[in-house]
Amino acid sequence: MIDKVAITIKAGKGGDGAVSFRREKYVAKGGPDGGDGGKGGNVVFVVDEGTNTLLDYKNRRKFKAPDGDNGQGRKFAGKSGSDLHLPVPRGTVIKDTNTGKVIHDMSDGQPYIAAKGGRGGWGNTHFATATRQAPRFAKNGYEGEYKELTLELKMLADVGLAGFPNVGKSTLLSKISAANPKVANYHFTTLAPNLGVVRIYEKDFVVADIPGLIEGASEGLGLGHDFLRHIDRCRLILHIFDLSASEREDPLEDIKKINAELKKYSPDLATRPQILVGNKIDTGYDKETLTKIKRYASRKGQKLFLMSGLTGQGIDELMRYVSELLETLPPLTTYESEITEEAEIDYTDRSVDIKIEDGVYHVEGEWIKRVCGGVNFDDRESLMFFQRVLKNSGVIEALEKAGIQDGDTVEIYGIEFDFVI
């Protein structure tokens, strides 16, 4: 069962700007006409209502949106990279793999841009000035965002069915909804969760049938308890047990064991509103056992219902009660993003930090970092442009203030050069 996967995503790089000059008859060299690079594609998560698993991500874990095309001559801008759409089931929670923090909850059904494509670089048309009529450089496109994400499916069900294997959870779901889960007389018939929609008095609610839980699930016994994440958001738990004790001895002990497992998974889940449902009453049951369970239920303040998935007895009454109770319960849990939007970098702030190490002057600052990302350093003219930017923005002055001398080395985000007065 695939309901938790780690993937990496990379948005497209922006295309590079073009260096090009107009060609005209009788004119040796026209003005610059290099177009801009296209924007890189975004990586966007979209809800696919038709799926209930993250199975699509089992074999493929790396995703990359297309890059923008480079600009061309005659002011032709490069084509933007198209967005890469990644379909996920509704209720998928996107987390940062490294910190475990929630980035986004795909429960509202809206697309979510998880990695933004890089901007395209400017073509040389942008760099023509009165004194520089033939700029021989353009800017490179910016890198797209890269993220390491974990996708976790937490299904959106109002009601979760919990209980030991073979107690009749899937049978109940098949009776109350159009869902058609596999029902069989062996343990762990259900391997992946099933959802069904129940309609009572014109009101709908969603029920999730999950694999059977066993004692020690939290230590990995049976199918483990990882799939409990599917009922993490539930507003109500129907705790199904086999009152007829057809294969296990003491139904009350069973109830306690399941509750202990729920608690080990999440104390929060253990305190979720719960209804006890004794199933298989068609096969008869021990009156004394029922008395004990009734006492237990009233001590815990829980409702107890009896039913038979085989004959249908008791099901309508239970569903009507569930529908009415849901009206009074809080809505489904959604997960708030735990990531504070990266503070927009203020590029009007052109201050830089200068650190001197072993005689090398290191220049740092968000703004200058961006500039470095967009300059083509293989190109002499581009470098000269960069140097003018340093001068006009006060970086040179700041270096001089820091005590730089002719011939000292300057380093700015990987670019080194000698300081010449």
Ligand X SMILES: Nc1nc2c(ncn2[C@@H]2O[C@H](COP(=O)(O)OP(=O)(O)OP(=O)(O)O)[C@@H](O)[C@H]2O)c(=O)[nH]1
Residues near Mg ion (CB under 5 A), total = 4
Residues 6 or more apart whose CB falls under 8 angstroms from that of 304 comprise 275, 276, 277, 278, 293, 294, 297
Are 19 and 125 a contacting pair, CB within 8 Å?
no
Q: Which stretch binds ligand X (CB under 6 A): 78-86, 231-239, 279-287, 326-334?
A: 279-287
Residue 59: count other Cβ atoms within 10 Å of its Cβ: 7
Residue 248 structure tokens: 């296990």
What span, in angstroms and rounded, lies between the C-alpha atoms of 314 and 346? Answer: 65
CA distance 210 to 194: 7
User: Does 283 help bind ligand X (rule: CB under 6 A)?
Assistant: yes
DSSP state of 24: B
Q: Between residues 37 and 211, which has the closer beta carbon with respect to Mg ion?
A: 211
| Contacting residue, 189, 246, 302, 409, with Mg ion by CB under 5 A | 189
CB of 170 to Mg ion, least distance (A): 3
Would you count residue 190 as binding Mg ion (CB under 5 A)? Answer: yes
Give yes or no for residue 246 binding Mg ion (CB under 5 A). Answer: no
Q: Which does 309 bind (CB under 5 to 8 A by kind): Mg ion, ligand X, none?
A: ligand X
With contacts defined by CB under 5 A, name the span among 181-189, 285-293, 321-329, 382-390 that binds Mg ion: 181-189
Q: Does 165 bind ligand X (CB under 6 A)?
A: yes
What minimum distance in Å lies between the beta carbon of 335 and Mg ion?
Answer: 27
Report d(CA 60, CA 268) in Å as an integer: 34
DSSP 256-311: HHHHHHHHHH-HHHHTS-EEEEEE-GGG---HHHHHHHHHHHHHHT-EEEE--TTT
Of 12 and 251, nearer to ligand X (C-beta) is: 251
Q: How many residues bind ligand X (CB under 6 A)?
A: 23
Amino acid residing at 219: E
**CA-CA distance, 241 to 247, in Å (whole number)?**
11
The verdict on 222 binding ligand X (CB under 6 A) reads: no
Of 187, 248, 362, 369, the one binding ligand X (CB under 6 A) is: 187
Asked if 289 is part of the footprint of Mg ion (rule: CB under 5 A), the reply reads no
Is residue 169 close enough to count as binding ligand X by CB under 6 A? yes
Cβ atoms of 124 and 135 closer than 8 Å: yes
Distance CA 316, CA 373 (A): 66
DSSP conformational letter for 74: T
Q: Which of 156, 123, 152, 158 is nearest to 140 (CA)?
A: 123
Which CB atom, from 121 or from 211, has the smaller least distance to ligand X?
A: 211
- From candidates 190, 194, 259, 323, binder to ligand X by CB under 6 A: 190
Residue 174 CB, nearest approach to ligand X (Å): 7
Residue 179 contact partner, candidates Mg ion, ligand X, none, CB within 5 to 8 A by sort of partner: none
Stretch that binds ligand X, among 85-93, 185-193, 343-351, 380-388 (CB under 6 A): 185-193
278 makes contact with ligand X (CB under 6 A): no
By the rule CB under 5 A, 170 interacts with Mg ion:
yes
Q: Is 379 in the site for ligand X (CB under 6 A)?
A: no
Tell me: does residue 230 bind ligand X (CB under 6 A): no
Question: 140 vs 177, which CB is nearer to Mg ion?
Answer: 177
**Residue 280 touches which member of ligand X, Mg ion, none, C-beta under 5-8 Å by kind:** ligand X
Residue 194 sits in the site that holds ligand X (CB under 6 A): no
Q: How far is the CB of 314 from ligand X (least distance, A)?
A: 9
Q: How far is the CB of 291 from ligand X (least distance, A)?
A: 21
Q: Is 188 in the site for ligand X (CB under 6 A)?
A: yes
Judge contact between 176 and 207, C-beta under 8 A: yes
| CA pair distance 184, 251, nearest whole angstrom | 21
**Other beta carbons within 10 Å of 80:** 21
Only one residue has tokens 């003491």, namely 250
The values of phi and psi at residue 283, to 5°, are -95, 5
Stretch that binds Mg ion, among 63-71, 186-194, 259-267, 404-412 (CB under 5 A): 186-194
List 168, 193, 278, 365, residue binding ligand X (CB under 6 A) = 168
Name the phi and psi angles at 264, rounded to 5: -65, -35
Amino acid at 387: Q
Nearest to 375 by CA among 362, 390, 364: 390
Q: Which residues bind Mg ion (CB under 5 A)?
A: 169-170, 189-190
Q: Which residues bind ligand X (CB under 6 A)?
A: 165-171, 183-185, 187-190, 211-212, 279-280, 282-283, 308-310
